[in-house]
Structure 1
């Protein structure tokens, strides 16, 4: 992102000083899981496309990578209806997957899919901000955690709790693969007045939340709070041009990799650190 783009984006965002009333802020945050359950009730499995790009962006997901040689265990948080799970299971025969979502309806769709088999995949309902992952997954047993467009659905004050939860099941040396919406993304700039809950946090028409990350925020969550090692943390900018809809702007995403310390004691220490 160049300086001119950032300046223009900041000017657009600064023009919206109105916040959703406090009562509704609390309601949207408290009912985040319920609103996503309603989303899947309306849209079934037809809204999102399969994420066939993930192993291009994250080499850890490819067959033959160091993790694959060890028959890796992966946890996908915010699995939705399985748009990440199915391509990975097809392309990497060595990998086993846990998949969780705070929408019971989404998890039911995963289990109903003809590709679902508990020999390689186990889906379960979990709100990662409060339900302990280690109640379902053995502590420090997961090689890879994928967090693809999921943290943006969480209230900012609960994001650190989700990181601590993940650390309980992540192996020493295990990795978190992160991709989500970045600050100044086109979607953030197009929100009309009346949708802003706080800085970088908005509510969509359907009641679901959308938070827009800076790389600094990711560093706070995963390095300063979580005690993880930052391997990658950057913005991915993609130009979006649609002549018919008169759109010529940038989509901005954050993409990162974080690795757990090799020393298990360091992970346990990080889990008890102060929440941001």
Structure 2
């Protein structure tokens, strides 16, 4: 069981301020070898399946992946959906360099636009036309952000989405095995921890997601639940649950309800 003792305020601020830098160091150490390609995403999100209404009704569907890393989500989705175009961003310059170095990146016509962006401070609408994106994937990315910066990130994302566009979300859920295994010296605040390498890990409740995307972001909740996977490893004496928060949110067709919130966020 992890300790309730909090990291001192100086270190809390330091870890939060250096979140992007520590992920850049992570990709410097691990290159493209740490994460596996995410071939499972269309099993969890039907919107990503070939022939789904999301793509079949659109001539040139556009997806934005937030926190793309080295492209483990990008390449399987592009391969399955030949008409799709993906914008991909990450706050790690090294991660974006790896995406651009992939042989699948340079195609004619281009099918991917990768760029460096810290969504907690860089305005996406300065890099992507407002209301131009049909789907946003936010998969294991908002957990890397300090909680106080997550609301801005959501508003930032909503500004570049089309009316009716969807956000597909999956991340760590409260009481996940990884959260319970943190020891003393790693807790920054409730549900927020720092790993050994300095990267952050936040654990979401469904209530927190509703606050971020519905009450703050003005979106419609289509799904919001915990996904529990039993993890058993006899050799390591592990018998516990992996808990993930998985959700879908949709931009209202009439976006006038969220315009004032977006205006106040960026002035």
TM-score (normalised: structure 1): 0.93
Tell me the alpha carbon deviations over residues 178-219 of structure 1, each in whole angstroms, 9 at most, x when there is no partner.
000000000000000110000000000000000000000000
The answer for unaligned runs of 5 or more in structure 2 is none
Structure 1 CA distance for aligned equivalents of residues 261 and 214 of structure 2: 9
Is 1:111 the counterpart of 2:100 in the alignment? yes
Give the one of 26, 29, 43 matched to 1:39.
26
2:84 to 66, 89, 95: 95
User: Could you tell me which of 158, 180, 184 is aligned with 2:149?
Assistant: 158
- Give the alignment of 1:152-231 within 5 angstroms: 152-231=143-222
Show the counterpart of 2:229: 238
1:5 alignment counterpart: none
1:272 Cα shift?
Answer: 4.1
**Hey, what does 2:11 align to over in structure 1?**
24
Task: Give RMSD over aligned pairs.
Answer: 1.3
SS in structure 2 of the partner of residue 124 of structure 1: strand
**Residues 37-76 of structure 1: pairs in structure 2 closer than 5 A:** 37-69=24-56, 70=58, 71-76=60-65
Aligned partner of residue 89 in structure 1, secondary structure: helix
- In structure 1, stretches of 5+ residues that fail to align are 1-11
C-alpha deviation, 1:274, in angstroms: 7.6
User: Is it true that 1:256 corresponds to 2:243 in the alignment?
Assistant: no
TM-score (norm 2): 0.96
Q: CA deviation at 1:63?
A: 1.6
Instruction: Give the deviation of 1:273 after TM superposition.
Output: 6.1
Q: From the superposition, tell whether residues 147 and 260 of structure 1 become closer, same or farther in structure 2 (CA, over 3 Å).
A: same
